[in-house]
Amino acid sequence: MPANIMTSIMNSLDIIYSWIWGAPLLVLLTGLGIYLTITLRGLQFRYLGYALRLVFGSQKAHPEAEGQGDISHFQSLMTALAATIGIGNIAGVATAITVGGLGALFWMWVTALLGMATKYAEAILAVKYRVTDEHGEMCGGPMYFIESGLGWKWLACSFAFFGAVAALGGGNMLQANSVADVMRTMFHVNPWWSGLIIAALTGFTIVGGIKSIGKVAGLLVPFMALFYIAGASIILAYHYDRIFDVIVAIITHAFTGQAAFGGFLGSTMLLALRVGVSRGLMTSEAGLGTASIAAAAAKTDLPGRQALVSMTGSFLATIIMCSVTGLVLGVTGVFGSLDEQGKLLNGASMTVAAFNSIFTGGGYIVTIGLVLFAFTTLLGWAYYGEKCVEYLFGIKSVPIYRVLFTLMIIPGAVLELDIVWKISDVFNGLMAFPNLIGLCALSSVVISETKLFLNVLKAEREAEN
Protein backbone atom coordinates (compact mmCIF):
# COMPACT_ATOMS: atom_id res chain seq x y z
CA MET A 1 0.00 0.00 0.00
CA PRO A 2 1.45 3.44 -0.97
CA ALA A 3 2.88 5.41 1.95
CA ASN A 4 0.65 8.47 1.38
CA ILE A 5 -2.52 6.37 1.40
CA MET A 6 -1.32 4.54 4.50
CA THR A 7 -0.65 7.83 6.27
CA SER A 8 -4.05 9.21 5.29
CA ILE A 9 -5.86 6.11 6.56
CA MET A 10 -3.96 6.12 9.86
CA ASN A 11 -4.63 9.84 10.40
CA SER A 12 -8.34 9.31 9.81
CA LEU A 13 -8.44 6.33 12.16
CA ASP A 14 -6.55 8.29 14.83
CA ILE A 15 -9.17 11.03 14.70
CA ILE A 16 -12.03 8.53 14.95
CA TYR A 17 -10.27 6.64 17.74
CA SER A 18 -9.71 9.83 19.77
CA TRP A 19 -13.36 10.78 19.40
CA ILE A 20 -14.74 7.35 20.36
CA TRP A 21 -12.31 6.77 23.22
CA GLY A 22 -12.81 10.25 24.63
CA ALA A 23 -14.19 11.26 28.00
CA PRO A 24 -17.82 10.07 27.45
CA LEU A 25 -16.92 6.41 26.91
CA LEU A 26 -14.22 6.38 29.59
CA VAL A 27 -16.62 7.91 32.12
CA LEU A 28 -19.45 5.57 31.11
CA LEU A 29 -17.24 2.48 31.26
CA THR A 30 -15.52 3.19 34.57
CA GLY A 31 -18.54 4.90 36.10
CA LEU A 32 -20.80 1.91 35.48
CA GLY A 33 -18.17 -0.45 36.88
CA ILE A 34 -17.88 1.65 40.05
CA TYR A 35 -21.67 1.95 40.40
CA LEU A 36 -22.25 -1.80 40.00
CA THR A 37 -19.37 -2.62 42.36
CA ILE A 38 -20.95 -0.40 45.04
CA THR A 39 -24.58 -1.44 44.53
CA LEU A 40 -23.68 -5.13 44.37
CA ARG A 41 -21.44 -4.63 47.45
CA GLY A 42 -18.27 -5.89 45.84
CA LEU A 43 -19.90 -9.10 44.67
CA GLN A 44 -17.05 -9.79 42.24
CA PHE A 45 -14.66 -10.08 45.21
CA ARG A 46 -16.96 -11.76 47.72
CA TYR A 47 -18.06 -14.58 45.41
CA LEU A 48 -14.96 -15.05 43.26
CA GLY A 49 -14.02 -18.27 45.07
CA TYR A 50 -17.48 -19.79 44.60
CA ALA A 51 -17.48 -18.75 40.95
CA LEU A 52 -14.14 -20.46 40.32
CA ARG A 53 -15.44 -23.63 42.01
CA LEU A 54 -18.44 -23.59 39.68
CA VAL A 55 -16.10 -23.41 36.69
CA PHE A 56 -13.41 -25.88 37.67
CA GLY A 57 -15.19 -28.08 40.20
CA SER A 58 -17.06 -31.30 39.46
CA GLN A 59 -20.56 -30.82 38.10
CA LYS A 60 -21.67 -33.58 40.48
CA ALA A 61 -20.83 -31.23 43.34
CA HIS A 62 -23.23 -28.68 41.88
CA PRO A 63 -26.23 -30.56 40.47
CA GLU A 64 -28.35 -27.46 41.00
CA ALA A 65 -26.26 -25.71 38.32
CA GLU A 66 -27.66 -27.94 35.57
CA GLY A 67 -30.48 -26.43 33.59
CA GLN A 68 -31.52 -25.36 30.12
CA GLY A 69 -28.73 -24.58 27.69
CA ASP A 70 -26.40 -25.92 25.00
CA ILE A 71 -23.03 -26.17 26.80
CA SER A 72 -21.70 -26.50 30.35
CA HIS A 73 -20.53 -23.69 32.66
CA PHE A 74 -16.95 -24.68 31.88
CA GLN A 75 -17.44 -24.76 28.10
CA SER A 76 -19.31 -21.46 28.20
CA LEU A 77 -16.45 -19.77 30.05
CA MET A 78 -13.85 -21.43 27.81
CA THR A 79 -15.72 -20.18 24.73
CA ALA A 80 -15.74 -16.68 26.20
CA LEU A 81 -12.08 -17.00 27.20
CA ALA A 82 -11.29 -18.35 23.74
CA ALA A 83 -12.37 -14.97 22.39
CA THR A 84 -10.93 -13.04 25.34
CA ILE A 85 -7.53 -14.69 25.86
CA GLY A 86 -5.87 -14.01 22.56
CA ILE A 87 -3.52 -11.66 20.80
CA GLY A 88 -4.40 -8.96 23.31
CA ASN A 89 -2.71 -10.91 26.10
CA ILE A 90 0.56 -11.20 24.18
CA ALA A 91 0.76 -8.54 21.48
CA GLY A 92 -1.94 -6.25 22.94
CA VAL A 93 -0.12 -5.73 26.23
CA ALA A 94 3.07 -4.94 24.31
CA THR A 95 1.37 -2.39 22.05
CA ALA A 96 -0.36 -0.77 25.05
CA ILE A 97 2.95 -0.37 26.89
CA THR A 98 4.68 0.88 23.73
CA VAL A 99 2.12 3.68 23.38
CA GLY A 100 1.16 4.42 26.98
CA GLY A 101 4.18 3.24 28.97
CA LEU A 102 4.14 0.76 31.83
CA GLY A 103 1.38 2.77 33.51
CA ALA A 104 -1.06 1.51 30.86
CA LEU A 105 -0.97 -1.90 32.56
CA PHE A 106 -2.26 -0.39 35.81
CA TRP A 107 -5.32 1.02 34.03
CA MET A 108 -5.85 -2.37 32.42
CA TRP A 109 -6.02 -3.84 35.95
CA VAL A 110 -8.52 -1.22 37.12
CA THR A 111 -10.69 -1.77 34.05
CA ALA A 112 -10.70 -5.52 34.64
CA LEU A 113 -11.50 -5.38 38.38
CA LEU A 114 -14.36 -2.94 37.89
CA GLY A 115 -15.29 -4.79 34.73
CA MET A 116 -15.92 -7.99 36.66
CA ALA A 117 -19.08 -6.38 38.04
CA THR A 118 -19.99 -5.14 34.58
CA LYS A 119 -19.45 -8.59 33.08
CA TYR A 120 -21.60 -10.11 35.83
CA ALA A 121 -24.40 -7.70 34.93
CA GLU A 122 -24.11 -8.48 31.21
CA ALA A 123 -24.35 -12.22 31.82
CA ILE A 124 -27.26 -12.11 34.27
CA LEU A 125 -29.30 -10.12 31.76
CA ALA A 126 -28.22 -12.33 28.86
CA VAL A 127 -29.47 -15.48 30.58
CA LYS A 128 -32.65 -13.84 31.88
CA TYR A 129 -33.71 -12.61 28.44
CA ARG A 130 -32.33 -15.42 26.25
CA VAL A 131 -34.50 -17.11 23.63
CA THR A 132 -34.40 -20.35 21.62
CA ASP A 133 -33.93 -20.15 17.84
CA GLU A 134 -35.33 -22.37 15.07
CA HIS A 135 -32.52 -24.90 15.51
CA GLY A 136 -33.15 -25.20 19.25
CA GLU A 137 -29.99 -23.24 20.21
CA MET A 138 -29.96 -20.57 22.90
CA CYS A 139 -29.58 -16.97 21.74
CA GLY A 140 -28.81 -14.10 24.05
CA GLY A 141 -26.64 -11.09 24.63
CA PRO A 142 -26.98 -7.30 24.60
CA MET A 143 -29.18 -7.19 21.49
CA TYR A 144 -31.73 -9.47 23.15
CA PHE A 145 -31.76 -7.93 26.63
CA ILE A 146 -31.91 -4.42 25.18
CA GLU A 147 -34.89 -5.28 22.98
CA SER A 148 -36.76 -7.45 25.51
CA GLY A 149 -35.89 -5.44 28.61
CA LEU A 150 -36.20 -1.95 27.18
CA GLY A 151 -37.97 -2.28 23.83
CA TRP A 152 -35.25 -0.21 22.15
CA LYS A 153 -34.94 -2.13 18.89
CA TRP A 154 -32.75 0.54 17.27
CA LEU A 155 -30.16 0.29 20.05
CA ALA A 156 -30.25 -3.51 19.95
CA CYS A 157 -29.67 -3.46 16.18
CA SER A 158 -26.79 -1.02 16.53
CA PHE A 159 -25.02 -3.38 18.94
CA ALA A 160 -25.59 -6.35 16.64
CA PHE A 161 -24.25 -4.42 13.63
CA PHE A 162 -21.13 -3.19 15.41
CA GLY A 163 -20.65 -6.66 16.90
CA ALA A 164 -20.78 -8.36 13.50
CA VAL A 165 -18.27 -5.89 12.04
CA ALA A 166 -16.01 -6.05 15.11
CA ALA A 167 -15.95 -9.83 14.79
CA LEU A 168 -14.58 -9.45 11.28
CA GLY A 169 -12.01 -6.86 12.41
CA GLY A 170 -10.59 -7.36 15.89
CA GLY A 171 -11.97 -10.86 16.33
CA ASN A 172 -10.79 -12.06 12.96
CA MET A 173 -8.33 -10.00 10.91
CA LEU A 174 -6.33 -8.89 13.95
CA GLN A 175 -5.77 -12.46 15.05
CA ALA A 176 -4.75 -13.59 11.58
CA ASN A 177 -2.45 -10.58 11.22
CA SER A 178 -0.58 -11.26 14.44
CA VAL A 179 -0.17 -14.96 13.67
CA ALA A 180 1.14 -14.17 10.18
CA ASP A 181 3.53 -11.60 11.66
CA VAL A 182 5.06 -13.97 14.20
CA MET A 183 5.18 -16.89 11.73
CA ARG A 184 7.04 -14.68 9.27
CA THR A 185 9.44 -13.53 12.01
CA MET A 186 10.12 -16.99 13.45
CA PHE A 187 9.80 -19.31 10.44
CA HIS A 188 9.86 -17.00 7.38
CA VAL A 189 6.40 -18.23 6.35
CA ASN A 190 4.66 -16.12 3.70
CA PRO A 191 1.64 -14.35 5.28
CA TRP A 192 -0.59 -15.60 2.46
CA TRP A 193 0.12 -19.21 3.45
CA SER A 194 -0.54 -18.44 7.11
CA GLY A 195 -3.87 -16.88 6.17
CA LEU A 196 -4.93 -19.84 4.03
CA ILE A 197 -4.09 -22.44 6.70
CA ILE A 198 -5.82 -20.52 9.51
CA ALA A 199 -8.88 -19.98 7.32
CA ALA A 200 -9.13 -23.71 6.55
CA LEU A 201 -8.90 -24.75 10.21
CA THR A 202 -11.38 -22.08 11.33
CA GLY A 203 -13.93 -22.92 8.64
CA PHE A 204 -13.75 -26.62 9.52
CA THR A 205 -14.47 -25.91 13.22
CA ILE A 206 -17.16 -23.22 13.10
CA VAL A 207 -19.38 -25.21 10.74
CA GLY A 208 -20.36 -27.30 13.80
CA GLY A 209 -21.71 -24.28 15.69
CA ILE A 210 -21.46 -23.57 19.43
CA LYS A 211 -21.22 -27.21 20.53
CA SER A 212 -18.21 -27.80 18.28
CA ILE A 213 -16.63 -24.50 19.29
CA GLY A 214 -17.26 -25.23 22.98
CA LYS A 215 -15.56 -28.64 22.79
CA VAL A 216 -12.49 -27.29 20.98
CA ALA A 217 -12.24 -24.30 23.35
CA GLY A 218 -12.61 -26.58 26.37
CA LEU A 219 -9.56 -28.54 25.22
CA LEU A 220 -7.29 -25.79 23.88
CA VAL A 221 -7.86 -22.82 26.23
CA PRO A 222 -6.67 -24.46 29.49
CA PHE A 223 -3.70 -26.06 27.74
CA MET A 224 -2.52 -22.90 26.00
CA ALA A 225 -2.94 -20.74 29.10
CA LEU A 226 -0.94 -23.09 31.34
CA PHE A 227 1.72 -23.56 28.64
CA TYR A 228 2.24 -19.81 28.29
CA ILE A 229 2.19 -19.12 32.05
CA ALA A 230 4.75 -21.89 32.64
CA GLY A 231 7.17 -20.31 30.17
CA ALA A 232 6.63 -16.83 31.61
CA SER A 233 7.14 -18.13 35.16
CA ILE A 234 10.65 -19.29 34.25
CA ILE A 235 11.53 -15.75 33.14
CA LEU A 236 10.02 -14.15 36.24
CA ALA A 237 11.85 -16.61 38.48
CA TYR A 238 15.12 -15.76 36.72
CA HIS A 239 14.54 -12.02 37.23
CA TYR A 240 12.74 -12.27 40.58
CA ASP A 241 14.79 -9.37 41.96
CA ARG A 242 13.32 -6.98 39.37
CA ILE A 243 9.64 -7.81 39.83
CA PHE A 244 9.04 -5.39 42.72
CA ASP A 245 10.66 -2.48 40.85
CA VAL A 246 8.54 -3.16 37.77
CA ILE A 247 5.33 -3.21 39.84
CA VAL A 248 6.30 0.11 41.44
CA ALA A 249 6.99 1.56 37.98
CA ILE A 250 3.60 0.35 36.70
CA ILE A 251 1.76 2.07 39.55
CA THR A 252 3.88 5.24 39.51
CA HIS A 253 3.75 5.82 35.76
CA ALA A 254 -0.02 5.30 35.75
CA PHE A 255 -0.36 8.70 37.45
CA THR A 256 2.69 10.55 36.16
CA GLY A 257 3.22 9.27 32.64
CA GLN A 258 6.59 7.96 31.51
CA ALA A 259 9.56 9.91 30.16
CA ALA A 260 11.17 9.05 26.84
CA PHE A 261 14.05 6.57 26.82
CA GLY A 262 15.66 4.26 24.26
CA GLY A 263 13.27 4.03 21.36
CA PHE A 264 10.26 4.90 23.54
CA LEU A 265 8.92 8.41 22.85
CA GLY A 266 7.35 8.91 26.26
CA SER A 267 3.70 9.16 27.38
CA THR A 268 1.37 11.24 29.54
CA MET A 269 -1.00 10.06 32.25
CA LEU A 270 -3.99 10.68 29.95
CA LEU A 271 -2.43 8.61 27.19
CA ALA A 272 -1.65 5.77 29.61
CA LEU A 273 -5.23 5.94 30.91
CA ARG A 274 -6.81 5.94 27.46
CA VAL A 275 -4.67 3.14 26.06
CA GLY A 276 -4.92 1.10 29.26
CA VAL A 277 -8.72 1.31 29.42
CA SER A 278 -9.20 0.55 25.71
CA ARG A 279 -6.80 -2.40 25.84
CA GLY A 280 -8.27 -3.51 29.19
CA LEU A 281 -11.69 -3.55 27.55
CA MET A 282 -10.32 -5.64 24.73
CA THR A 283 -8.49 -8.17 26.92
CA SER A 284 -11.30 -8.57 29.48
CA GLU A 285 -14.29 -7.84 27.22
CA ALA A 286 -15.92 -6.19 30.25
CA GLY A 287 -18.35 -3.60 28.95
CA LEU A 288 -18.10 -4.93 25.43
CA GLY A 289 -21.07 -7.27 25.87
CA THR A 290 -19.79 -10.07 23.66
CA ALA A 291 -18.97 -12.57 26.43
CA SER A 292 -22.62 -12.51 27.50
CA ILE A 293 -23.51 -14.08 24.12
CA ALA A 294 -21.57 -17.19 25.17
CA ALA A 295 -23.01 -16.99 28.70
CA ALA A 296 -26.52 -17.21 27.26
CA ALA A 297 -25.71 -20.63 25.77
CA ALA A 298 -24.73 -22.17 29.13
CA LYS A 299 -26.70 -24.82 30.99
CA THR A 300 -27.82 -23.12 34.20
CA ASP A 301 -30.83 -22.96 36.46
CA LEU A 302 -30.43 -19.34 37.55
CA PRO A 303 -29.09 -16.28 35.69
CA GLY A 304 -26.99 -15.29 38.70
CA ARG A 305 -25.10 -18.55 38.80
CA GLN A 306 -23.89 -18.26 35.22
CA ALA A 307 -23.21 -14.55 35.76
CA LEU A 308 -20.69 -15.41 38.48
CA VAL A 309 -19.00 -17.86 36.13
CA SER A 310 -18.87 -15.29 33.35
CA MET A 311 -17.27 -12.59 35.50
CA THR A 312 -14.27 -14.83 36.23
CA GLY A 313 -13.28 -14.33 32.60
CA SER A 314 -12.06 -10.80 33.30
CA PHE A 315 -10.02 -11.99 36.26
CA LEU A 316 -8.36 -14.84 34.38
CA ALA A 317 -7.78 -12.97 31.12
CA THR A 318 -6.50 -9.63 32.37
CA ILE A 319 -5.47 -9.88 36.03
CA ILE A 320 -3.63 -13.16 35.42
CA MET A 321 -2.67 -13.43 31.75
CA CYS A 322 -1.97 -9.77 30.92
CA SER A 323 -0.08 -9.23 34.16
CA VAL A 324 2.20 -12.15 33.33
CA THR A 325 3.04 -10.64 29.93
CA GLY A 326 3.47 -7.12 31.31
CA LEU A 327 5.83 -8.26 34.06
CA VAL A 328 7.89 -10.30 31.60
CA LEU A 329 8.26 -7.27 29.32
CA GLY A 330 9.28 -5.16 32.30
CA VAL A 331 11.82 -7.45 33.96
CA THR A 332 13.59 -8.40 30.72
CA GLY A 333 14.16 -4.76 29.74
CA VAL A 334 12.98 -5.17 26.14
CA PHE A 335 10.49 -2.31 26.51
CA GLY A 336 11.85 0.62 24.49
CA SER A 337 14.39 -1.52 22.60
CA LEU A 338 14.97 -1.48 18.84
CA ASP A 339 15.10 -4.42 16.46
CA GLU A 340 17.86 -5.19 13.94
CA GLN A 341 16.38 -2.71 11.46
CA GLY A 342 16.37 0.06 14.05
CA LYS A 343 12.59 -0.01 14.53
CA LEU A 344 10.97 0.11 17.96
CA LEU A 345 10.00 -3.37 19.14
CA ASN A 346 6.22 -3.64 19.29
CA GLY A 347 3.45 -6.21 19.44
CA ALA A 348 4.25 -9.91 19.42
CA SER A 349 7.82 -9.21 18.29
CA MET A 350 8.54 -7.50 21.62
CA THR A 351 7.17 -10.43 23.60
CA VAL A 352 9.21 -12.85 21.48
CA ALA A 353 12.34 -10.79 22.21
CA ALA A 354 11.57 -10.93 25.95
CA PHE A 355 11.31 -14.71 25.96
CA ASN A 356 14.38 -15.13 23.75
CA SER A 357 16.43 -12.99 26.13
CA ILE A 358 16.39 -15.68 28.81
CA PHE A 359 16.67 -19.05 27.12
CA THR A 360 17.26 -20.34 23.61
CA GLY A 361 14.02 -21.10 21.86
CA GLY A 362 11.97 -19.01 24.28
CA GLY A 363 10.37 -17.27 21.34
CA TYR A 364 8.82 -20.57 20.31
CA ILE A 365 6.75 -20.52 23.50
CA VAL A 366 5.32 -17.19 22.43
CA THR A 367 4.82 -18.41 18.89
CA ILE A 368 2.96 -21.57 19.91
CA GLY A 369 0.95 -19.68 22.51
CA LEU A 370 0.10 -16.90 20.09
CA VAL A 371 -1.01 -19.27 17.34
CA LEU A 372 -3.26 -21.19 19.75
CA PHE A 373 -4.59 -17.98 21.34
CA ALA A 374 -5.37 -16.51 17.94
CA PHE A 375 -7.07 -19.64 16.67
CA THR A 376 -9.37 -20.00 19.68
CA THR A 377 -10.10 -16.25 19.58
CA LEU A 378 -11.19 -16.64 15.99
CA LEU A 379 -13.56 -19.41 17.03
CA GLY A 380 -15.09 -17.41 19.88
CA TRP A 381 -15.60 -14.32 17.77
CA ALA A 382 -17.03 -16.37 14.91
CA TYR A 383 -19.80 -17.42 17.30
CA TYR A 384 -20.35 -13.86 18.52
CA GLY A 385 -20.50 -12.55 14.98
CA GLU A 386 -22.91 -15.16 13.72
CA LYS A 387 -25.31 -14.56 16.63
CA CYS A 388 -25.27 -10.83 15.86
CA VAL A 389 -25.97 -11.55 12.19
CA GLU A 390 -28.69 -14.04 13.13
CA TYR A 391 -30.38 -11.35 15.23
CA LEU A 392 -30.27 -8.87 12.34
CA PHE A 393 -31.10 -11.06 9.36
CA GLY A 394 -32.40 -14.38 10.65
CA ILE A 395 -30.92 -17.85 11.01
CA LYS A 396 -30.61 -18.37 7.23
CA SER A 397 -27.89 -15.71 7.11
CA VAL A 398 -25.57 -17.67 9.44
CA PRO A 399 -23.97 -19.96 6.78
CA ILE A 400 -23.23 -16.94 4.60
CA TYR A 401 -21.59 -15.12 7.50
CA ARG A 402 -19.50 -18.18 8.36
CA VAL A 403 -18.12 -18.22 4.80
CA LEU A 404 -17.44 -14.47 4.88
CA PHE A 405 -15.78 -14.74 8.29
CA THR A 406 -13.52 -17.54 7.07
CA LEU A 407 -12.52 -15.70 3.89
CA MET A 408 -11.73 -12.43 5.74
CA ILE A 409 -8.91 -14.22 7.56
CA ILE A 410 -6.79 -14.22 4.40
CA PRO A 411 -6.58 -10.43 3.76
CA GLY A 412 -6.28 -9.91 7.51
CA ALA A 413 -3.05 -11.89 7.48
CA VAL A 414 -1.34 -9.51 5.02
CA LEU A 415 -2.53 -6.06 6.17
CA GLU A 416 -0.39 -3.64 8.19
CA LEU A 417 -0.46 -4.28 11.97
CA ASP A 418 -1.09 -0.66 13.02
CA ILE A 419 -4.16 -0.32 10.81
CA VAL A 420 -5.71 -3.57 12.03
CA TRP A 421 -5.18 -2.65 15.71
CA LYS A 422 -6.72 0.79 15.21
CA ILE A 423 -9.76 -0.59 13.39
CA SER A 424 -10.22 -3.10 16.21
CA ASP A 425 -10.14 -0.38 18.88
CA VAL A 426 -12.62 1.76 16.94
CA PHE A 427 -15.27 -0.93 16.59
CA ASN A 428 -14.79 -2.19 20.14
CA GLY A 429 -15.62 1.30 21.31
CA LEU A 430 -18.63 1.59 19.01
CA MET A 431 -19.94 -1.76 20.28
CA ALA A 432 -19.45 -0.77 23.91
CA PHE A 433 -21.75 2.27 23.72
CA PRO A 434 -25.11 0.49 23.15
CA ASN A 435 -24.19 -2.28 25.59
CA LEU A 436 -23.28 0.15 28.38
CA ILE A 437 -26.39 2.25 27.77
CA GLY A 438 -28.51 -0.90 28.01
CA LEU A 439 -26.78 -1.96 31.22
CA CYS A 440 -27.35 1.43 32.81
CA ALA A 441 -31.04 1.38 31.92
CA LEU A 442 -31.48 -2.19 33.20
CA SER A 443 -29.32 -1.91 36.33
CA SER A 444 -32.40 -2.21 38.57
CA VAL A 445 -33.15 -5.59 36.96
CA VAL A 446 -29.57 -6.68 37.65
CA ILE A 447 -29.93 -5.75 41.31
CA SER A 448 -33.31 -7.47 41.76
CA GLU A 449 -32.12 -10.66 39.99
CA THR A 450 -29.00 -10.67 42.16
CA LYS A 451 -31.04 -10.44 45.36
CA LEU A 452 -33.16 -13.41 44.25
CA PHE A 453 -30.09 -15.45 43.38
CA LEU A 454 -28.22 -14.66 46.60
CA ASN A 455 -31.30 -15.69 48.62
CA VAL A 456 -31.34 -19.04 46.79
CA LEU A 457 -27.60 -19.44 47.33
CA LYS A 458 -27.99 -18.69 51.03
CA ALA A 459 -30.75 -21.30 51.32
CA GLU A 460 -28.58 -23.88 49.55
CA ARG A 461 -25.70 -23.29 51.94
CA GLU A 462 -27.98 -23.52 54.98
CA ALA A 463 -29.38 -26.81 53.66
CA GLU A 464 -25.83 -28.17 53.27
CA ASN A 465 -25.09 -27.31 56.89
Report which of 310, 333, 105 is spatially closest to residue 239, judged by C-alpha positions: 333
In terms of residue numbers, what domain contains 390?
A: 3-464
Report which of 107, 146, 194 is spatially closest to residue 434, judged by C-alpha positions: 146
Least confident piece of the model among 49-53, 77-81, 136-140, 351-355:
77-81
Give per-residue pLDDT as tens, 144-180: 999 999 999 999 999 999 999 889 887 888 888 878 8
Residue 228 above 50 pLDDT?
Answer: yes
β-partners of residue 71 are: 298
Winning range, highest mean pLDDT, from 26-35, 83-92, 402-411: 402-411
CA dihedral over 195, 355, 228, 346, signed as positive or negative = negative
Residue 60 above 60 pLDDT?
Answer: no
Domain count, the chain: 1
pLDDT (0 to 100) of residue 254: 93
β-partners of residue 344 are: 338
Residue 65 above 60 pLDDT?
Answer: no
352 or 146: whose pLDDT is higher? 146
pLDDT (0 to 100) of residue 286: 83
Residue 405 above 90 pLDDT?
Answer: yes
Contact 125, 294 (CB under 8 A): no
CA dihedral over 50, 53, 55, 59, signed as positive or negative = negative
In sequence order, the 6+-apart residues with CB closer than 8 A to the CB of 282 are 88, 92, 170, 288, 424, 425, 428
Give per-residue pLDDT as tens, 234-271: 999 999 999 999 999 999 999 988 876 777 777 888 88
User: What CATH number does the domain containing 333 carry?
Assistant: 1.20.1740.10
pLDDT (0 to 100) of residue 146: 97
What is the biggest distance separating any 2 CA atoms in the chain, rounded to whole angstroms? 71
pLDDT (0 to 100) of residue 63: 47
Residue 98 above 90 pLDDT?
Answer: no
Give per-residue pLDDT as tens, 191-202: 999 999 999 999
- Mean pLDDT (whole number) for 367-372: 83
Distance CA 307, CA 205 (A): 27
Contact 425, 104 (CB under 8 A): no
Least confident piece of the model among 246-250, 283-287, 341-345:
341-345
